[in-house]
A = this chain, B = another copy of it.
Amino acid sequence: MRIYEHEAKQLLRQAGVSVPGSELASTAAQAQEAAQRLGGPVVLKPQTMIKARGKAGLIAFADTPQEAGQAAGELLGREHAGEKIDTLLVEAKVGFDQELYLGITVDYTEGCPVFIASSEGGVEIESVAQEHPERVIKRSISPGQGLTKEQAGEIADFLCPPKDGAVDRSDELRRIIAALYGVYTKFDCEMLEVNPLVLAGGSFLALDATAAIDEDALFRQAEMVRPRGQSEAEFELEKDHRKRGWTFLRMEGDIGILSSGAGITMAILDLMRAGGGRPANFLDTAQMNRQGIYDAFHLFLDDPAIKTVLVNIFAGLNRCDDLALGIQDFMTEYRPSFPVVVRMVGNREDEGREILRQVGIEAIAGLEDSVTQVIKITESLS
């Protein structure tokens, strides 16, 4: 079962391989908004099983959001090779210095995975292998041992031979190579291909990705299949949330809410509405930790309607300082435009408060107080 480019990229991103910023769009208006948010020129790519979309003239480029909307309007609804285009990946256009090929497939004769890499990316690997075999490296992998460090190193050195005076990118490449193999085994892939992997602004990005999941393994890859009545875009979002154990529901308001547990979150929504605030979402996360709270903040990052965010932490089983570090990580990395109000009580509360102060946040102890506070700030921004 082949999966869509955006799905393959999501698997890669989760494994720590960078991909260009992107959003899914199924209407011209959505594409235009997506381009607006992404900023700068974008690429519009139909999410279909059609191969060689570029050759078929199904990939569009746009310099402005208006152009993106127009191009999306022309692509959406078109039929090609029996498939109707109903979803586009709107992706930041990336300029690059070098294109590589990385792929994992199966050696059916020996019954083992094979890693294939080439210094020639962006073209069909079969033709490179025929015309310039010296530009291709293949390594058979032992399923038991997995891809060894030595193999990853060999492949990385082949792709980017260490040169005097040049930046050594071998470590990053090794990491990407290992991540690819991790995705390949974890998701029961028959085939996983990044073509091209590009060097852009000094680091590597997966510009296109293809994957096929072994249909005989779907019984243990249930999250790879989409329930009926759900669009690809909805499915995509839900899948991500489900994987993290989140229930996320976007509503009309402007105050983002980051809390753990359905009951307390509903209580916060009640308090907020009663106080005249407009909650932007319902979120129920599983048990929270530093990484989890950092990840959850991303829900609000690309949402222009969010004016403020309220975080509620009741550290009964977890620790305030750990969660505060997650907030600190996010604030330091993204410097978000929205003010963040934090209610925090529980284990290691004082240590947590101290950490938040370093990013200019004074934690509030009372739940009701925190709700009142976030509403006040939100109103002052209107």
Q: Tell me whether B222 and A4 are in contact (CB under 8 A).
A: no
Q: In the complex, how many angstroms separate the beta carbon of A73 from the nearest chain B beta carbon?
A: 15
Kindly provide the distance from the CB of A241 to the nearest chain B CB, expressed in whole angstroms: 13
- A57 lies within 8 A of chain B by Cβ: no
Report the Cα distance A322→B146, complex, angstroms.
51
| Chain A interface residue count, Cβ-Cβ cutoff 8 angstroms | 20
Main SS of chain A's interface residues?
Answer: mixed
Which stretch (A101-109, A183-191, A224-232) binds chain B?
A: A224-232
Q: Does A228 lie within 8 Å of B227, measured CB to CB? A: no
Q: Indicate whether A200 reaches chain B with its CB closer than 8 angstroms.
A: no
Complex interface bits, A1-44 against B, C-beta within 8 A gives 1, otherwise 0: 11110010000000000000000000000000000000000000
Task: Look across to chain B and name the residue whose beta carbon is closest to the beta carbon of A50.
Answer: B229
A373 CB within 8 Å of chain B: no
Instruction: Encode contact with B along A227-246: 1 for CB under 8 Å, 0 otherwise.
Output: 11100100000000000000
- Nearest Cβ on chain B to A49's Cβ, whole angstroms: 4
A4 with B232: CB separation less than 8 A: no
Cα-based distance from A227 to B49 in the complex (angstroms): 12
CA distance A215 to B227 in the complex (A): 9
Residue of B nearest to A232 (CB): B228
Residues of B within 8 A of A4 (CB): 228-229
Instruction: Name the contact of A228 in the complex, choosing from B84, B86, B226, B229 (C-beta under 8 A).
Output: B226
Q: Which residues of B contact A378 (CB under 8 A)?
A: none
How far does the alpha carbon of A218 sit from the alpha carbon of B220 in the complex, in Å? 11
Answer whether residue A64 sits at the interface, using C-beta atoms and an 8 A cutoff. no
Contact A83 B229 (CB under 8 A): yes
The 3 closest A-B pairs by CB, nearest first: A225-B225, A49-B229, A1-B227
Can you list 15 A-B contacts with CB-CB less than 8 angstroms, sorted by A residue number?
A1-B227, A1-B229, A2-B228, A2-B229, A4-B228, A7-B228, A49-B229, A83-B229, A84-B86, A215-B227, A219-B222, A222-B225, A225-B225, A226-B226, A226-B228
By a beta-carbon cutoff of 8 Å, the part of chain A in contact with chain B is 1-4, 7, 48-49, 83-84, 86, 215, 218-219, 222, 225-229, 232
